A and B are shown apart, each in its own frame.
Chain A
């Protein structure tokens, strides 16, 4: 973030419709069919979007939308019913717990926090599956979390683009 040295930017308030739109786009990105290995390595953009809204606009999103969209993802992925819902509940808990701390850090440090949160939510899904009898699928299982953390700065810039103050309106 370029303007970190000048203090945090003051954003315009996010409308509900905009929040819903970003979530819808993120669900779409998760449902998008990709060829071959990209399908398995794809980072969970919906999880990233939830982290963004919780960290930068706390108290706008609660557990219920995350949990409900988690059920939708379970149906779409054919995983166990409640697996993503539980993972997103853990993700929301960690994000809300850490949101005051995360905003104080530089982008690199934020990415590390995001990595930890994403990995924790993936670990929950892994735990659920292993209790259900699956084998450990290898360390590559956590690659989507790593890619998600690398995508954090891009997603951060993209979501807040429409929320930044309009300079023309100020200059008038």
Chain B
């Protein structure tokens, strides 16, 4: 144990005092961040310093991968080339019909006076690394607010949905994977059209489809695609394949686990999908309240008062 120093040496405040000081500041920062979200500005500033270093230290891993690529045999390259050519041919056939179908769909929608689906813009991005945090499933990608990435955008790879942008830095952004414990994706069973919501459970390679009735029309091997009713994920993207169903009449809901369709834990290129919002305003949101309030005095001859600018 530390015994007290002789009083004639100046040694500054005691150990416990110093510890208490820094512990209190840390706790204040933690509360400000977790409860109130005040720390985003400070985080962005620090991230501007840290991100270049992170890029730098991600290089060795990339280098090892590059050296590995250099020694790929010609046979495997030819195999891959053949497979890609086959895929391209198959896709070409699908694409040609798809253009015709899209045009037909537009016409039908116009006939039915339905809202047009707006075109999606996409931002290609590369996964840099996964943060060292055992409590969450996230990855960091190399596109940020400078590339018009916003929090809430969906992120897909070539096989399906991998997650959603949750935090944006100037030149990088954090994507919470659909396997994260707090991540939910509204889905639809492609075969039967049954709607539901998948939840991550915090492990790689597994999702849970909760709150499905025991007698719901769902089978092993069913493909789950995004339903699009949340306005976040565009409709029709593959999310997961049902891998196991436990139906027990003693419980109200079936226990359904599924495997993500996308290569959730493998590194590579992803696409950040920017959907223009097509859903109506939340009926309880302040904006729609203001909108509803504004036209009300319109019939009166005096000009309607502008909604107070401070009210949002």
Contacts and interface: CB of A to CB of B under 8 A. Distances in A.
A82 to B, nearest CB: 3
Interface stretch (A108-116, A128-136, A155-163, A164-172): A128-136
A93 B60 CA distance: 34
**Interface size class, chain A:** 35 or more
A76 B167 CA distance: 13
Contacts of B23: 86, 89-90
B27 A86 contact: yes
Interface stretch (A2-10, A11-19, A34-42): A34-42
B293 interface: no
B298 interface: no
Contacts of B202: 135, 137
Given A75-B46, A81-B30, A129 B135 contact: yes
Contacts, number: 122
B214 to A, nearest CB: 26
A28 interface: yes
A32 interface: yes
A23 B296 CA distance: 65
Contact of B22 (A27, A36, A77, A85): A85
Contacts of A135: 181, 202
Interface in B1-45: 1-2, 15-16, 18-19, 21-23, 25-30, 32-34, 39, 42-43
**Interface size class, chain B:** 35 or more
Interface in A59-101: 62-64, 67, 70-72, 75-83, 85-86, 89-90, 92-93, 96-97, 100
Nearest to B33: A81
B46 A28 contact: no
A131 to B, nearest CB: 8
Contacts of B34: 80, 132
Given A90-B19, A97-B1, 18 more contacts: A32-B60, A33-B61, A33-B129, A67-B26, A71-B46, A75-B43, A77-B131, A79-B131, A81-B30, A82-B28, A85-B29, A86-B26, A86-B27, A89-B19, A89-B23, A92-B19, A135-B181, A141-B134
Interface of A: 27-28, 30-36, 39-40, 42, 62-64, 67, 70-72, 75-83, 85-86, 89-90, 92-93, 96-97, 100, 128-129, 132, 134-135, 137, 141
